[in-house]
Structure 1
Amino acid sequence: MKLPLSIHRARLGPEEFKVIRPARPPARAALSDGYWYLDVQVDQRAAQLVAGLWSLAATSPRSLVHVPLRRADPDTGEPGLDLVLLHHSLQFAPSRWKELRARLGPGRPQTADLPGPPSADRGADRRPDRHHRENRDRFHQRVHAGTLFMTGSAQLFADTSWLFADVAHRGPGHVRAHPGHAHYCARMGQGDGLIADHGGSGLHVVYRDQWPER
């Protein structure tokens, strides 16, 4: 799977940070703070793109993967959020993001060659130790400066790459086959052992084929 990217570098004090963005932000995607979850709405192309970027995050521990999604919720008008995927080991404070983002230039083009499309198998992450109290390998979510930060480990990103891939793979067919019940989604939350206690509410990813003109 080839993924066109834009690579950016900027300094904050003595530290240099690498930020990876898609060459073209997804046109039909929205992320907003819902009642139970953080809600993501995507069409098939956007779901495929975010799935690829999610897989890329698993192999990019020294980079921040920034997905521009700041489009208002098409139904509620709720303000939209961007998405940043990053590793715990980077120890990047979300409070620094606004300043870093302002320093990013136009970037340089690059193409990532992923080994294949992310697996759409919902059973890809069924590690029995996920629910153990001792399990510390969980996502931490934080919203800051109009951006949702998903902070996790390489293994955690790899184990959850199915989330958007599943919606891209199965969403369109479900909507066509069930016009009276067209809702198709995938989700992860604290109950899955994937989100830290008090570390966020989880993600609810919904396939949406009809989008209003902006």
Structure 2
Amino acid sequence: MRMRLRRFRPRTGPREHRVVQPLHPLRHTSLRAPEPIGLLLGDHDGLNRLAGLFSFAAYSRRTIVHVPLRDGVPPDEGTGEPADLVLAHHSYGLRPSTWPELRRSLGPGTPLTVRTDEARTERDAAAWRRRAARADCRDELRHAHHARTVLLFGSRDVFAEAAVNCAYAAGRGPRQRGVAKGRTAMVSSLPGLVQRPGGGHPEEILVCFEPYPPYAHFKRPG
């Protein structure tokens, strides 16, 4: 996939960061934090571009991917405050408390075009699924909700699996029953979220397909 991004080089103290955003907003995509169930809703374009952004994050250990989602078209589903999305590798060392300062210092940025490799993404996602089936697997997706942002921290392979799940939702969503009438369809979820101690309802982020009005433009495949 070819993606057009915007690149930033902000500094916090002596450290320079590399942050990227989509060049154009994902207008019909929204996110609610997992408390304990979060919702990631989008149309085909939004979910497909999110798949590409997760794939880019998987192979960019020294880059923070920031997806502004709060100012898009409000969805018909979900409760709670809209949130942006940030993706960063475990090894980057980004702390949620430092993100607001970093976001404020982004500046205008410069255009950037990147390509993702879907075959490589699928191979690494399959490797994660094989490991995740074992009881001792600790390759998980750590998450935090801070400053109206959901921050996800993971490895190459778990980000690759998230990319595959978003791509699946983008492809299967339009085929679900009722979407041509404006109904939202839950298609997949983000993988391997770390659970809080003490039990209770599992925390998860559901990935849902949501067509946007007017629905006359929407036709199911086939």
Whether these two folds match at TM > 0.5 is yes
Aligned residues of 2:122 and 2:161 also touching (Cα < 8 A) = no
Shift of 1:177: 8.1
| TM-score, normalised by the number of residues in structure 2 | 0.82
Residue in structure 1 matched with residue 58 of structure 2 by the alignment: 58
Q: Bigger CA drift: 62-71 or 32-41?
A: 32-41
Aligned residues of 1:118 and 1:162 also touching (Cα < 8 A) = no
Residue in structure 2 matched with residue 9 of structure 1 by the alignment: 9
Q: Bigger CA drift: 26-35 or 2-11?
A: 26-35
Aligned residues of 2:141 and 2:194 also touching (Cα < 8 A) = yes
Aligned residues of 2:42 and 2:210 also touching (Cα < 8 A) = yes
Letter of the aligned partner of 2:26 in structure 1? P
Q: Closer, same or farther in 2 for the Cα pair 1:11/1:180, shift >3 Å? A: closer
Residue in structure 1 matched with residue 217 of structure 2 by the alignment: none
Aligned residues of 1:73 and 1:79 also touching (Cα < 8 A) = no
Letter of the aligned partner of 1:44 in structure 2? H
- Cα distance in 1 between the residues matched to 2:127 and 2:182: 31
- Cα distance in 1 between the residues matched to 2:39 and 2:122: 19
SS in 2 for 1:161: helix
Unaligned segments of structure 1, at least 5 residues: none
SS in 1 for 2:101: helix
Aligned residues of 2:33 and 2:145 also touching (Cα < 8 A) = no
Residue in structure 1 matched with residue 193 of structure 2 by the alignment: 195
Q: Bigger CA drift: 57-66 or 180-189?
A: 180-189
Percent of aligned pairs with the same amino acid: 31
Deviations 1:57-109 (CA, angstroms, capped at 9, x unpaired): 01110010001111454345632000001000001101000000000011100
Q: In the comparison of the two structures, how many residue pairs are matched? A: 207
Unaligned segments of structure 2, at least 5 residues: 215-222
SS in 2 for 1:160: helix
Letter of the aligned partner of 1:69 in structure 2? L
- Cα distance in 2 between the residues matched to 1:57 and 1:153: 9
Q: Closer, same or farther in 2 for the Cα pair 1:106/1:92, shift >3 Å? A: same
Q: Bigger CA drift: 99-108 or 156-165?
A: 156-165
Deviations 1:120-171 (CA, angstroms, capped at 9, x unpaired): 89x9466343144432210101000100001001121123321110111111
Aligned residues of 1:81 and 1:147 also touching (Cα < 8 A) = yes
Q: State the Cα RMSD in Å.
A: 2.9
Residue in structure 1 matched with residue 153 of structure 2 by the alignment: 151
Letter of the aligned partner of 2:53 in structure 1? L
Residue in structure 1 matched with residue 219 of structure 2 by the alignment: none
| TM-score, normalised by the number of residues in structure 1 | 0.85
